[in-house]
Amino acid sequence: MRHLLDNIVWHALSGPQLRFSAGAGDAKRYAAGFSPIVGFADQAHPNFEALRPHCAAGEHFYCDGWTGAPPPGWTLDAETTMFKMVWDAPSPERDEAPDAIPLGPVHATQAFDLAMLTKPGPFGPRTIELGDYYGIFDGERLVAMAGERMHAGTLREISGVCTHPDVQGRGLASRLMRKLVRRQLARHETPFLHVMRENAVARRLYERMGFAVYRESVVRVVSPSL
């Protein structure tokens, strides 16, 4: 199943998450309102022309595994690399976040606001619809969350991991991640995640938790020209 991880966006959007996609032929994106990410059947030759009618000016999209000059009508906004990491340890013995609350539509605004504050990666107002999301609250305020985004084969991504600056250092996010890992393994799924190269602190944390680097790949942010 790990070969699916090499082009996980495409396998997710053309497979189990097709209902969350927009696009045509060999080019798809998460539909507007979800995470701004695009995928192509052929990463070496991405079909941006097929994708363009499904994108609006001013949108910025993350692309995985694509290199080369941007095609006419598109702007390259940023480029770096990220690590794809896969769980490589026994299941956590217990639920470390029994107090976590499942997040639903009523929490969508708080989840989006927390993601915009902490910048865990591409996130949209409807991202929490892509899988199970859990949050920890301080009174009525959402202060930490983690959830599931991409899904293909037995692979299930842990994403949207973030903690409000007021409560960082308490291990809230790692507790939520272990909760998700435990649930996924119980469903015979393989947890994985993405972490940017620049975020070395998070990568070391994930390694201590039980994730191992599968590969490093190029990630770019692109936008349709005005």
> 106-150: per-residue pLDDT in tens?
999 999 999 999 999 999 999 999 999 999 999 999 999 999 999
Tokens of 10: 């495409």
Q: Are residues 96 and 72 in the same domain?
A: no
| Domain around 32 | 2-81+219-224
Global pTM value: 0.95
Alpha-carbon gap, residue 143 to 108, rounded angstroms? 13
Is the pLDDT at 65 greater than 70? The verdict is yes
Statement to judge: residues 77 and 99 lie in one domain: no
Measured from the Cβ of residue 156, the count of other Cβ atoms closer than 10 Å reads 27
Same domain, 159 and 89: yes
pLDDT score, position 5: 96
**34 and 93 assigned to the same domain:** no
One domain, residues 67 and 100? no
Percent of the chain with pLDDT over 70: 99
**Model pLDDT, residue 54:** 95
**Quick one: how many helices (H) and strands (E) in the chain?**
6, 11
Query: Of the candidates 170, 161, 175, which has an alpha carbon nearest to the alpha carbon of residue 94?
Result: 175
Q: Check which CATH number belongs to the domain holding 36 and give it.
A: 3.40.630.30
Residue 196 and residue 104 in one domain: yes
CB 195 within 8 A of CB 215: no
Question: Which positions ≥6 away from 88 have C-beta within 8 Å?
Answer: 210, 211, 212
pLDDT in tens, 70-89: 999 999 999 999 999 999 99
DSSP class per residue in 55-98: --TT--EEEES--SPPPTTEEEEEEEEEEEEEE-SPPPSS-S-T
Q: Are residues 138 and 193 in the same domain?
A: yes
Are 191 and 212 within one domain?
yes
Same domain, 125 and 158: yes
Shared-domain flag, residues 96 and 76: no
Same domain, 101 and 206: yes
Looking at residue 2, what is its pLDDT?
Answer: 62
Same domain, 108 and 180: yes
Confidence of residue 225 (pLDDT cuts 50, 70, 90): confident
- Structural domains in the chain (count): 2
Instruction: List the one residue out of 25, 23, 29 whose CA is nearest residue 9.
Output: 29
Please give the angle made by the CA atoms of 7, 9 and 15, to the nearest 5 degrees.
100
